Amino acid sequence: MNMSHLAYISLGGNIGNTLEIFQNALLAIEKKLGKIIQKSSIYQTAAWGKEDQNDFLNQVILIETSFDAKKLLDSLLTIELLFERKRIERWGPRTLDLDLLSFDNQIENSESLVLPHPRIQERKFILVPLAELNPNWVHPMLRKSVSELLDNCADQLKVKRIS
Determine how many CB atoms are found less than 10 A away from the CB of residue 50: 11
| 58 Cβ contact list (under 8 Å, min separation 6) | 10, 11, 12, 42, 43, 44, 45, 125, 126, 129, 159
Secondary structure class of 126 (helix, strand, coil): helix
Determine how many CB atoms are found less than 10 A away from the CB of residue 20: 9
Q: Is the peptide bond prior to 116 cis by the omega test (within 30 degrees of 0)?
A: yes
Half-sphere exposure (Cβ direction) of 57: Cα atoms closer than 13 Å = 18
Which are the catalytic amino acids?
A: 85, 94, 97, 99
Q: What gap in Å lies between CA 41 and CA 61, rounded to an integer? A: 9
